[in-house]
Structure 1
Amino acid sequence: MWNPHVMILTASYGDGHLQVSNALKQRLAQYGIKNVQIVDLMKEAHPLLNSISTKLYLKSTVTSQYGLDYYGWSYYVTRDTRTDGSIGKYFNYLGKRKLKALIEQTRPDVIISTFPFGAAADIGRELGIPACVVITDYALHMRWTHPDTDRYYVATEELKTELLLKRAATAERVKVTGIPIRPAFLEASASGCRYLPGWNPSKRLVLISAGSYGVLHHIEELADRLRHQDHCDVAIVCGRNQKMENKLKQLFAGNEGVHVFGYVEHIHELMALSTCIVTKAGGITLSEALALKLPVFIYKPFAGQEKENAKYFAEMGMAHVAANIHELEEQLHRFLSDSAVAYGMKSRMAAVHKGDAADLIVKDVLSMVSLEREKLASV
């Protein structure tokens, strides 16, 4: 039985790209495709540059709070860069030599990129291997585009329209699938949550993803005000920020209305239990909230793709974006005081959600690869 070899290209700028890659690998395995290779191309091809750039990317979330937003500046400067321009050619060249050697060595049947690597489409064209791109945000940056890309998988109809208007792709090459997330988010149920035993389900739970921000200013003030809201509890997830976790646990010790956690393995359970979430505007986080129909509140999104993601969700009525802590408090107060607001946001999220994105993508990829194999066999 033929078992295609799938190469998935990713990068370690945040966890999102790798999460998408793993979600695709999981779904491929369910279809019996075991020969799946995930390659962190920048790490493989340019380890020193990768180390420096990933550290700069992470530091930008802190420096932007003090007016030094070099990542946001670079995002907007290069946003409309064409592949045939000097900047576009430079980005397409990154990792090309290493990638070509890997491809010639392993001979994959298809290449799927979850990070914008133009080199994949270049080499795919040269060697006759289909090259696909999974855009992991709700806004278009032209670095994702290349004239030789065989298929784009995008989150929304609006993103497809933008690709067509900018003549970056033809309609048959763009599929609206949503962004792949872990299957657990598609199956999550509040009844299965193991983190708040004995919690009164008549209370509403506001989930704050504090670790998303590194340090969320005024978080103590926000949590304190929310816990005084009628029938409202607060869950704060600090991620791997041990210092923040210790501080908040000490601050809210003995307070039954505030639950503080560090890293939560089964975050989908906590999200399924929540009434809304205060979080950053990463493409994967928003996709997880979308799958759970969980209304989103975004506090001071970072410039670049997160700001553009936040803008899309706000325009679609699925999120509220706050520029300061007082605005965030007012938004949450209105939301918690009027059930119609929550109903409207959930309804709009249900209309936008496309279903199991990983499954839609894998089915299309396997169909495309099978068709290519049949064409070669008939020659």
Structure 2
Amino acid sequence: MARKILIVSASMGAGHDGAAKELSARLIAQGNSAEIVDYMEMIPFRLGGVVRWSYKFQLRHFAWTYDLTYQAFSRGGAFLWAPVVWAMGLLTRRPIRRVLLQTRPDAIVSTYPLASLVLGRMRAKHWLKVPVATFLTDFAVHSLWVHPGVDLHLAVSPESAARANQRGSHTSVATGPLVPERFNFSYVTRDDTRRRLGIEPHTRAVLVVAGSWGVGDLKSTTQAIAGCGPEYHPIVVCGQDENLRANLLAESFSGTILGWTEEMPSLMAASDALVENAGGLSAMEAFAAGLPVISYQSIAGHGKDNARVMAQAGVTRRVNNKAELADALADTTTPGSKRDEMIAAGHALFVSDPAESVEELASATDSAALMAPFDSPRGMRRLGSAAAVLVILYAVLTIGVHGVAALGVGVAKAPKGVTNTVYLGVRVDQRELNNRALDNAIHKINASVIVDAKVARNSHEILHQLTDSNFDIVNGGMGVSRTLRWTRSRDDCDTASLALAKASGLSPKVFMPGRSIDAFDEFYCRTGKIKSKLVRANTKFLPPTVPTLIDRKIYLLDARKKSATAVKASLEKFYQQAQTKGLQIQPLGQLR
């Protein structure tokens, strides 16, 4: 009998989605129906995207804080995660109920830990009538992965299943990783791929990965591999991080530098070993492919934890320095017992098909559960609780992240290596913008004109003229205030950019607010319809004064409702001081 399976994943890296897609493909191949939903899309007010961006931002810039949080939740267990799960349950209960009523599944499978905890709590409260399984994508089973209300935990290894039981799971089964069949390759494609990449037959190819986001110090890892000897050829996959790829290409490494690719099976076939830093999907694919895996410079939190558990299971080699890396590369790329034992241990993980375990779980679902898969708890108390959660979450995402924004992380800065330069933007209103003599004075000293959407909508003709004259026109926001931070940021970063593009005929590449910035600004600048660089002034000043100019700093002259004479005086003083100090003036568009 065909079953309907709902799979809850999350767009938080390729690992969760990769497992969800492979499970879906297997279930459908066996005659069932499967639907994948993104838990991040269930979080209201588009906050799922903020959560994803914040997580990536934390991994890149404040990894130590992620490691601290990971360890705290690991040791604190339910005492710490219960409030988070309660809050997320309130936020996502209605979307979950809506999806359940639309799909009426025989079972639910989660590949994302936070979704697993929320579903487990709903199951334990008897709100959720259909059984829930969690597929544990990691070797290291964190406390956030396990909830006693979940009916079945599917693990990638016996060690992981045992750890899930210790964490509170009632039923854990080690099925092995979820990896597509195409990774069980023969060596038919090996020579073709190596020839295409320019790798000589005697050269030892080392595939270097850092997940779909390219998180970690790939530059240092690539240098370390190259330093182990000329016989090694690194094949570096940077994922979706094009800036990382460009930076590595600029270093002129003697290897192959790739961005996002769908050719991982061929690349693994062409390689002699894999070096990774997270213990994620690429490691699982390598186990299926028969490619030895080395964990080096593991990322914070789950990366370090996975490296430790995988090494203890004998499926990887964990190294801590360049000397150990050299030894591991020699062992894993040389035919012999050490290499064979690692490959055999990886292959031994694949003991059964997780899809069959899900089918068996779904077969026990009765018809009453299908008719009413979810009982919605009611009451004004819960409504008040939901409101409280939103207030707390809002405070965390604005006040909490404001401290991070104050550090200047995520905002545009002077390019590396550029010195003896200052950057100037002049914010104008309707009257100043229509003063061509003032416009020309701004343009003459190479400054930017900052215009908000309110002004732009009534200034199409003059803005087109400035665009034709190669003025650097910068988005100054909407020109109106908003109470809610995410609404303010959406309007200032995204809506205002569209309005300015329509008015001037050219999409602005820079957003410079005249207010403080927070993570919502950074999020919408990166994800809006018009991608913008977020700029924060080091110094703001009013006509006719001029601050002391410092190399590589950013300055904002607020000329709104000031006399043209006073503004011109400030511009002249700014220019003269820059000349005296040997500083060139550049528009904000030159920031990176």
Tell me if 1:29 matches 2:24: no
CA contact (8 A) 2:210 2:278 kept: no
In the aligned structure 1, how far is the partner of 2:369 from the partner of 2:14?
A: 37
CA contact (8 A) 1:17 1:114 kept: yes
SS in 2 for 1:101: helix
Q: Deviations over 1:90-123 (max 9, x none)?
A: 4554522321222133322211111122332344
In the aligned structure 1, how far is the partner of 2:222 from the partner of 2:148?
A: 49
1:39 CA displacement = 1.0
Give the aligned partner of residue 350 of structure 2. Answer: 354
In the aligned structure 2, how far is the partner of 1:274 from the partner of 1:370?
A: 42
* Residue correspondence of structure 1 range 219-230 to structure 2 within 5 A: 219=221, 221-226=223-228, 228-229=230-231
Give the aligned partner of residue 315 of structure 1. Answer: 312
CA contact (8 A) 1:226 1:234 kept: no
* Residue correspondence of structure 1 range 80-229 to structure 2 within 5 A: 80-82=76-78, 85-116=82-113, 117=115, 118-124=117-123, 125-166=126-167, 168-170=168-170, 173-185=171-183, 187-193=184-190, 194-197=192-195, 199-209=199-209, 212-213=214-215, 215-219=217-221, 221-226=223-228, 228-229=230-231
Q: Any stretches of 5+ residues in structure 1 without a counterpart? A: none
Flag the 1:113–1:219 CA change in 2: closer, same or farther, 3 A: closer
Which residue identity lines up with residue 148 of structure 1 in the other structure?
Answer: G
Give the aligned partner of residue 56 of structure 1. Answer: 54
Flag the 1:243–1:89 CA change in 2: closer, same or farther, 3 A: closer
In the aligned structure 1, how far is the partner of 2:314 from the partner of 2:303?
A: 16
In the aligned structure 2, how far is the partner of 1:364 from the partner of 1:127?
A: 20
Give the aligned partner of residue 490 of structure 2. Answer: none
Q: Deviations over 1:52-75 (max 9, x none)?
A: 2211211222224xxx52222221
Give the aligned partner of residue 282 of structure 1. Answer: 279
Deviates more, 1:239-248 or 1:6-15: 239-248
SS in 2 for 1:197: helix
Give the aligned partner of residue 294 of structure 1. Answer: 291
Q: Which has the higher contact order (CA 8 A, sep 6+)?
A: 1
1:162 CA displacement = 2.2
Give the aligned partner of residue 343 of structure 1. Answer: 340
CA contact (8 A) 2:159 2:313 kept: no
Flag the 1:354–1:376 CA change in 2: closer, same or farther, 3 A: same
In the aligned structure 2, how far is the partner of 1:239 from the partner of 1:143?
A: 26
CA contact (8 A) 1:93 1:119 kept: no
Structure with max Cα Rg: 2
1:18 CA displacement = 0.8
CA contact (8 A) 2:44 2:92 kept: yes
CA contact (8 A) 1:42 1:95 kept: no
Q: Any stretches of 5+ residues in structure 2 without a counterpart? A: 371-592
Flag the 1:181–1:94 CA change in 2: closer, same or farther, 3 A: farther
SS in 2 for 1:233: strand
Flag the 1:78–1:91 CA change in 2: closer, same or farther, 3 A: farther
1:26 CA displacement = 0.8
1:176 CA displacement = 0.9
In the aligned structure 1, how far is the partner of 2:295 from the partner of 2:36?
A: 31
Flag the 1:279–1:263 CA change in 2: closer, same or farther, 3 A: same
Flag the 1:110–1:273 CA change in 2: closer, same or farther, 3 A: same
CA contact (8 A) 1:10 1:21 kept: yes
CA contact (8 A) 2:278 2:303 kept: yes
Identical counterparts, % of pairs? 25
SS in 2 for 1:354: coil
Q: Deviations over 1:326-360 (max 9, x none)?
A: 54345324555684432332233233x224x6xx2
